[in-house]
A and B are shown apart, each in its own frame.
Chain A
């Protein structure tokens, strides 16, 4: 018997070992591992689709003693997104790195990062999550420094140290919870926290430590300072992975803790703080993206803004009673996270192609890119429209439901933030596009470099077309009420 839950983590891990041991074969082994892992993720999605939430206690011991793996709708949707994006990045990377040493360094670290991502999404144990965070942070910082230039190494050393600080803060919270409740299993711990209101101070302190540490890793304003230089200086496939997946993993963990673990002790006041910071992140990140001189820096600041949107959902979820309205909000949150994952990965891959082709990525000097690289420019435009939230992209539905929820709960001020952020986003996307078109004649060939352009284009297309026009299954995957599905399809 084989379990896709385990394979999602074990396959990239074995792949990482093989590419480490056989550096000559790293590209071939790497792409095989990427395909196998993505296959396992699809199998996992199919299993969750049919059977509902999967739960597995490793080692056959009591849940308290051992480590549990768990795949519910939320985790599965993110795993599927991460693995499809990962596959796209892998195909792109086969053509991106030419230096033999870079190739040999990239593949093992990338597959380890992938294993850590899947492990983090599927973990059901607080300490295991810490181990995954460490693996993710170390692999991400090492990959980010792969260009080897001074800026990249400095930015990623800072990223590594910031990440360590975040992990330690998280670990302190875990230690407090373990001392008070005597278990690390998420399910058991949730019951015990709900059953022990007299331990409010301990729970609240643990929550503050853990959420603060993770907010540092998720780059929530004003803790985003490390992100733009680290993401903008990394090699293109790595930037895509960092911006689309790694930051998202930290946010996923905050959401998981908030909804599953600390739900009994979070009130409106607790939810307001991250949401306010998220609102500032939306405005500040979009503004800086508009002012950025380089394409990759623009994309990095846009990530700061897009992470901000996700935090706006917390007070809405708190204020909405369980029911179809809350289900819609949860699905909208997931839809925005997944859409941003695909769109930002596509954007960074395309930006990397522009950079290698033109030798720079200064936005003001991009004239004629649309003629030289039509498919790449198209990918940038597509993913840009998903970043703005134009219909039919997934983020259009996400933002729509977000604003609907804000008005329904009387928190109208978030609507202003969302509309201003979207306006700024359209400004920075159109600024790039207006520069990219020159006066040269139209090209003869749409695709110039299939191995690099097809992944970028596919990821961008998924974010715009697939997620927007067919978001209904997301509701089913989340196991939510059919009423939500009707609303989602109708929007």
Chain B
């Protein structure tokens, strides 16, 4: 009897949930339609001179030939600097939540063979994309994404640290992007050019330096985010905190010999 009423009640509440989600879907569809109409009205306005023309016009003074790179690293470099900080904040947030889960099982011969081919290729392609970003599609974010992907593959193949160095070195690599970016900007300000105002003569080299640091930082941040927690310590050098983490994940009784009665 009670089970029947319970089942009926569950069915009714499921029905109510379905009605509710239908209502939400209809409302969202209406909102989407309204926004589409408004968007087309905005497009029709078209009166505003397109910013792209201006971006092309100023391109010779930026130190790069690719307009996208010019927007990211020259016109709106400050945005890019802060985006790098966002990436770092996300990773620090992940690290603050706890140690990483143990890695996957070591890969077999076939997968290991493939990894040893693919990873160097990814790294070389990343370097190519970084360089090519000066005059064609490419740049630090794409190159960094490839480096990050290389880290993901290494981790999937069984390396618990995704091929990254120890924690101390990892920290320096992570901050490299924002640090070089900000210091270049501040240096320019001290020498009178203004924050992130590159003199056209050396703009290319400054941008290249920033992009190299940013590529490393993005790659390391993405790979470390995939590891998903504070980096596991080096093979045989457990610090106090790693021991804490270890004892939290493993039942302590397994390692310590049972006291004799």
Contact = CB atoms under 8 A, between A and B. Distances in A.
A228 interface: no
Given A58-B195, A182-B48, A205 B38 contact: yes
A66 B54 CA distance: 11
A65 B48 contact: no
Nearest to B199: A60
> What does DSSP make chain B's interface, helix, strand, loop or mixed?
helix
Contacts of A112: 85, 88-89, 92
How many chain B residues sit at the interface, stated as a range, is: 35 or more
Interface string A44-73: 000000000000101111101111000000
B197 A119 contact: no
B39 A176 contact: yes
Interface in B48-90: 48-51, 54-55, 58, 74-79, 81-83, 85-86, 88-90
Interface in B168-201: 171-172, 174-175, 178-179, 182-183, 185-186, 189-190, 192-198
Contacts of A60: 193-194, 197
A353 interface: no
A64 B82 contact: no
B219 to A, nearest CB: 17
Nearest to B179: A17
Contacts of B92: 20, 105, 108-109, 112, 142
Given A67-B76, A180-B48, A205 B86 contact: no
A10 B51 CA distance: 28
Interface stretch (A196-204, A302-310, A355-363, A419-427): A196-204
Interface of B: 34-35, 38-39, 41-43, 45, 47-51, 54-55, 58, 74-79, 81-83, 85-86, 88-90, 92-93, 95-98, 171-172, 174-175, 178-179, 182-183, 185-186, 189-190, 192-198, 230, 241
Given A61-B74, A182-B50, 8 more contacts: A17-B175, A21-B179, A58-B196, A66-B75, A128-B76, A131-B86, A145-B97, A205-B38
The 10 closest A-B pairs by CB, nearest first: A182-B48, A142-B93, A105-B96, A180-B42, A17-B175, A179-B42, A6-B195, A60-B197, A205-B38, A17-B179
Interface string A130-155: 01101100110110011010000100
A106 to B, nearest CB: 8
Interface residues of A, number: 60
B75 A138 contact: no
Contacts of A116: 82, 85
Contacts of B81: 13
Contacts of B75: 59, 61, 65-66
B41 A201 contact: yes
A443 to B, nearest CB: 37
Nearest to B171: A21
Contact of A23 (B34, B90, B171, B192): B171
Contacts of B193: 60
A286 interface: no
Contacts of A142: 89-90, 92-93, 96
A6 B34 CA distance: 40
A178 to B, nearest CB: 8
Contacts of A439: none
A192 interface: yes
Nearest to B38: A205
A194 interface: no
Contacts of A62: 54, 58
Contact of A13 (B34, B35, B79, B85): B85
Contacts of B230: 101
Interface in A1-54: 1-3, 6, 10, 13-14, 16-18, 20-23
Contacts of B174: 20-21
Contacts of A17: 175, 178-179, 182
A172 interface: yes
Contact of A59 (B34, B45, B77): B77
Interface string A234-262: 00000000000000000000000000000
B51 A65 contact: yes
A369 interface: no
A20 B90 contact: no
